[in-house]
Amino acid sequence: MLTYTLRRLLYMLITLWIIVTVTFFLMKLLPGDPFGDAITRLPPESMAILKAQYGLDNPVWEQYLKYIGHVAQGDLGVSYQYPTRSVVSVIKTAMPASIELGIESMIIAIIVGLILGIVAALKHNKAGDYTASMIALIGISIPSFVIGPLLSYFVGVKLRLLPPGLWLGPEYRVLPAVALSLSTIAILTRMMRASMLDVMNQDYIKTAKSKGLSTANIVDKHMIRNAILPVVTILGPIAVNVLTGTLVVERIFSVPGLGNQFVTSVYSNDYTMITGLTLFYAGVLVVMMFFTDIAYSFIDPRIRLGKGK
């Protein structure tokens, strides 16, 4: 288990290094620079001073080596948009809102998705199945940038049930979390349904039945635990889904989170901010994947006990 963990950590670092490198050079390929656009052009002299101050006049590979060196020490540089703030401090301020939104939407998605999937499987080819499958189909086919504004408009503006945007009290969390969870609900429902249907036909379910256990007991102890296994494996990719979803959803609902920050940074060519955020997102993802694997081994004893090999 220890060697496995260490090897995984090494792979994680390599992955992150590749991501930083690719992002860094892609940023350099972008037209324009952080110091204003064609209209607000600074005089060439001021520009030269600015560039020299940020080291942008050096050759690209030199900039790269310097940047990597800083990153290795945990310093993601200074933001170009907010010259007084480091990228790390911006991430620190924006992170809580994003994490909260992500977790809330994951919780909604897991609870609703799994329940819908289980209901669909137990009511296979009956009304319950069709309803759940329909919800899943809607969830997967309507993107969050459509459902977000719709929710904001109808529930927030028309019906005035919930605030249509911003991030103040608890009631402000509901709409963005729901908008963000919808596609995840859809994925989880479909996955859980298929997995349950598969498990229901297994021999050990017949064994459980032959012991005289009640249906509720069989569903609870024998079906769900086995059916949830393959679903746990996709929690990593699902976290990706939620994470990329925050980019759009935070923007729509004006949530002061990382996703929103990311979009703003792209508008203003904030190199360090973009690279830093990309690295941060990638880091979160890689760590989540890692924990998914660990979690999986806790649920499935066949994997947990394979550690001797």
Partner 1 sequence: MSTPILEVNNLQVSFKMFAGEVQAVRGVSFTLNKGEVLAIVGESGCGKSVTAQTIMRLVPTPPSYIKGGTAVFDGKHEITTMKESEMQKIRGEEMGMIFQDPMTSLNPTMTVGEQIVEGIRKHQGGSRLKARNRAIELLSMVGMSNPAERLRQYPHQLSGGMRQRVMIAIALACNPKLLIADEPTTALDVTIQAQIMELLQQIQEQTGTSIILITHDLGVVAEMAHRIIVMYAGKVVEEGNVNEIFYDSKHPYTWGLLRSVPRLDSDAHSELASIPGTPPDLFAPPKGCAFAARCPYAMEVCLNKDPEHFRVSDSHSAACWLLHPDAPKVERPVEVGGRTHG
**Phi, psi (deg, nearest 5) at residue 40:** -95, 35
CB 230 within 8 A of CB 191: yes
| Residue whose C-alpha is closest to residue 101's, from 146, 144, 139, 132 | 144
Q: Is 204 in the site for partner 1 (CB under 8 A)?
A: yes
CB 143 within 8 A of CB 216: no
Q: Is 221 in the site for partner 1 (CB under 8 A)?
A: yes
Binding mask 263-302 for partner 1 (x = CB under 8 A): ------------------------------------xxxx
Spell out the residues 6+ positions from residue 28 whose beta carbon is closer than 8 angstroms to its own.
Answer: 60, 63
Q: Report the alpha-carbon distance of residue 241 to residue 104 in Å, rounded.
A: 14
Span near partner 1 by CB under 8 A; candidates 69-77, 181-189, 204-212, 231-239 = 204-212
Q: Is 93 in the site for partner 1 (CB under 8 A)?
A: no
Positive or negative torsion for Cα 66, 71, 75, 77: positive
Residue (25 or 130) nearer to partner 1, CB = 130
Q: Is 207 in the site for partner 1 (CB under 8 A)?
A: yes
Using CB under 8 A, which of 27, 115, 174, 213 touches partner 1? 213
Span near partner 1 by CB under 8 A; candidates 80-88, 218-226, 233-241, 262-270 = 218-226
Using CB under 8 A, which of 81, 86, 131, 202 touches partner 1? 202
Q: Is 246 in the site for partner 1 (CB under 8 A)?
A: no
CB 226 within 8 A of CB 199: yes
Q: Is 141 in the site for partner 1 (CB under 8 A)?
A: no
Angle, in degrees to the nearest 10, between helices 235-252 and 225-233: 60
State which amino acid sits at residue 96.
P
Using CB under 8 A, which of 52, 215, 263, 298 touches partner 1? 215
Residue (66 or 307) nearer to partner 1, CB = 307
And the tokens for 255? 């949530």
Q: What is the nearest approach in angstroms of partner 1 to the Cβ of residue 222? A: 5
Q: What is the nearest approach in angstroms of partner 1 to the Cβ of residue 305? A: 7
3-state secondary structure 141-205: HCCHHHHHHHHHHHHHHHCCCCCCCCCCCHHHCHHHHHHHHHHHHHHHHHHHHHHHHHHHCCHHH
Q: Is 195 in the site for partner 1 (CB under 8 A)?
A: no
Q: Is 45 in the site for partner 1 (CB under 8 A)?
A: no
Q: What is the nearest approach in angstroms of partner 1 to the Cβ of residue 121? A: 14
Q: Is 209 in the site for partner 1 (CB under 8 A)?
A: yes
Q: What is the nearest approach in angstroms of partner 1 to the Cβ of residue 214? A: 6
Residue (173 or 222) nearer to partner 1, CB = 222
Q: Is 124 in the site for partner 1 (CB under 8 A)?
A: no
Q: Is 203 in the site for partner 1 (CB under 8 A)?
A: yes
3-state secondary structure 213-244: CCHHHHHHHHHHHHHHHHHHHCHHHHHHHHHH
Question: Which parts of this chain interact with partner 1 (CB under 8 A)?
Answer: 202-204, 206-215, 217, 221-222, 225-226, 229, 299-302, 305
